[in-house]
Every structure is written in C-alpha cells, then in structure tokens.
Amino acid sequence: MNNHYQNYNPSDVGQINGNIFGLPFDYDSANLIIIPIPWEVTVSYGAGTANAPQRILDASPQLDLFDFDNPDGWKQGLFMIEIPQDMLDKNQYYRQQAATIIQRLEQGKSLNDAPDLTSLLREINQVCDNVNKWLFDKSQQAMNDGKRVAVIGGDHASPLGYMQALAEQYSSYGILHIDAHADLRNAYEGFEFSHASIMYNAMKLPQISKLVQVGLRDICHDEVEMINQSNDRIVAYYDSITKQKLYSGITWIDLCKEIVSHLPEYVYISFDADGLDPKLCSNTGTPVPGGLELEQAYCLIREVVNSGKKIIGFDICEVGDAEWDGNVGARIVLKLANFMDLSNK
C-alpha cells in the first residue's frame, strides 16, 4: 500500500486530473495499471468502440468511490496509461480499409476479384498482430514491475496480447467470459484477429484450461460444434436456457455457484458490454436483445471471489461511443478492479 492518497478525500468532488476516476495515483504508485486499446478495425456492424477508453475516462470522475464489496478498494491505486493516439489514428485508417473487404464478402464476391484485396487483408492482419504485440509488451512490463493489469478495449479483439502475457506468467488459468457472442469463429471475414475470433485465438493458448461463457444468445453452427467437441474445456451458459431455469424457480445465486465451479484457481474475466441487456450499453458494436442485468453480472463475479479463486486480470470491451455507455463502462471497470483486489487479499 502506498501513501499517495494521504490527503485525498474519496468523498470530495471527482478531480479531472487525467487519471481514471480522478484518483491521485501515477504508474509507480498504482497497483493496478489499466491499458487502453482504442482499436476496432474488424468490427462488422456498429462502429465507435475505439473511443470507449476515452468515454470511460471522461465519465469516471463523476462516480462515487464507495463500494459495498470493497469500501477501500480505490486505495489499491488505479492508473490508466495514456490512450495511444497513434493507435487511434491507425485504427481510423485501417477500419475504412477493412470495410471494403467486408463489403466485398457481403456481396458474395471473392477477395481475388478485381481489384484484388488479398494483400490488403494480409496487411490488416499484420497491423492487428502489431497491436497484440504492443499490448503483450506493455502488460508483461507492468506485471514484471509487480503490477496487476486490466485492459479497456475497443472491440473484443483488443485483449489478446494481455491473455498471451498472462499465459507466460501462469501455467494454467481459466476465462470467465460474459458476452452475447461466443467469439469462437476462425478468422471471421478473413481477419485473423477479428472481434468474433478472440476466444478462438485464446483457445490456442494451452495454458487456458477452461473457458466458461455466460450470456450467449447470438451464435453460429460452427461455434456450437466447437463448444460441444471441446471435451468440457469450453462450458457455455446460453442465455435462453439460463432464463428458462430462472423462470422455473432456480435461483440466480445457485446458477452462479454452478458456473463458478467450472473455473480453475486462477480466473481472468473477459467482459463484453453486449453480454448485458442492451439498455445498459445500447451503443455497443453488435447489440442483441436479452442478456444480463449489471447486478447479475456482479453477483456472478462476487461468487468467483467468494469461492476463494483469484482474479488475475480482466478486460472490458465493446463499450459504445456515447456518454451513457461510458458511464456504465466506468462502473464496470471500478467494480472489477475492486473484485480483483478483494480476491487477491
């Protein structure tokens, strides 16, 4: 614990000081380093999530810091590194390039047709991989400095480099994945690092022993087949089946305990905003009716903490480019940070 907050009053007006929640920490004094990834090159429906780190940062100082699970959670020290402007600029350029590829595919035409787009696809895959490598290096450096790490994404492709860095740190860990989508597509639309392929790519890491998915309600045949053939390495809680159980009188808390029982000792949380009911983040990239209430999601993660498992990292992705979405996103960041702190005490 550091003394950076000796004269800081958490009940005061939130300071707009450049740091998330207006907290009085810098890189050295913080225990949790938040890395923003303003990237959504492969989004296939609604755009804007690349601006989520800024939206969350802008909304964060107006949040009150008292947390019923971890009242002093803010004292762990949270610091968000500067949003990389060059990444945001590249994102805007390559997002437009990717749109021409998506358009071609949606017309049922080949990328080999004139003008040939295959070399452009290779270039986009390369630039996305560079983002992964950048995040891998940044998160590995922070962990080597004794910090915990969290990622605020643009689209859900964002956290892969961090997952890879955790795989170097932990010989085995599981992912609790809250999402409307399974994200188990192999190079969706040709993009190796598509937002729809994040968990397919994560499953290439042998260190990830378990993937437990909650809220799924928009899924393709191939993904269901991959889940069914995974020998329980992937466990899916489909939204419609979960709701049916709730309607029949099974309690959410019992379902949460069952979900958590599938997870190993070390747990990474990957939180896609579209896993929630769309009223909570209506400007997310691919909204789907249904999903979780915010407190349902918190209840689930609380059960991870109550089970004695350790939360080793998290990401929040697909938060929309709107003030309300930024507000909800900021609350999720603070809550997950406090749960992670609690689980490591």
Q: Which residues of 56-86 are buried (b: 16+ CB within 10 A; e: fewer)?
A: bbebbbebebebeebeebbbbbbbbbebbee
Cα separation, 67 vs 331, in Å, equals 10
Pairing status of strand 266-272 against strand 78-80: unpaired
CA-CA distance, 109 to 122, in Å (whole number)? 18
Euclidean distance between CA atoms 208 and 170, whole angstroms:
9
Q: For residues 100 and 81, what is the distance between their CA atoms, to the nearest angstrom?
A: 33
> Would you state the structure tokens that stand for residue 18, as one six-digit string?
């450049």
272 marked ligand binding residue: yes
**Residue 17: other Cβ atoms inside 10 A:** 12
Locus of tokens 């290439």: 204
Token code pair at residue 265: 């000792």
183 among annotated binding-site residues: yes
Q: Where are the alpha helices (DSSP H) in 44-110?
A: 52-59, 85-106
Residue 221, marked binder: no
The bridge status of strand 266-272 relative to strand 234-238 is: unpaired
Encoded tokens for 153: 């994404």
H or E element that contains 151: strand 148-153
User: Is 195 flagged in the annotation as binding?
Assistant: no
Cβ contacts of 189 within 8 Å, gap of 6 or more: 42, 44, 101, 102, 105, 196
d(CA 217, CA 219) in angstroms, rounded, equals 6
Are the C-beta atoms of residues 254 and 247 closer than 8 Å to each other? Answer: no
Of the candidates 95, 98, 103, 99, the one whose C-alpha atom is nearest the C-alpha of residue 51 is 95
- Please count the helices (runs of H) and the strands (runs of E) in the chain: 10, 8
Q: Which residues are annotated as a binding site for Mn(2+)?
A: 156, 179, 181, 183, 272, 274
Q: Which residues are annotated as a binding site?
A: 156, 179, 181, 183, 272, 274
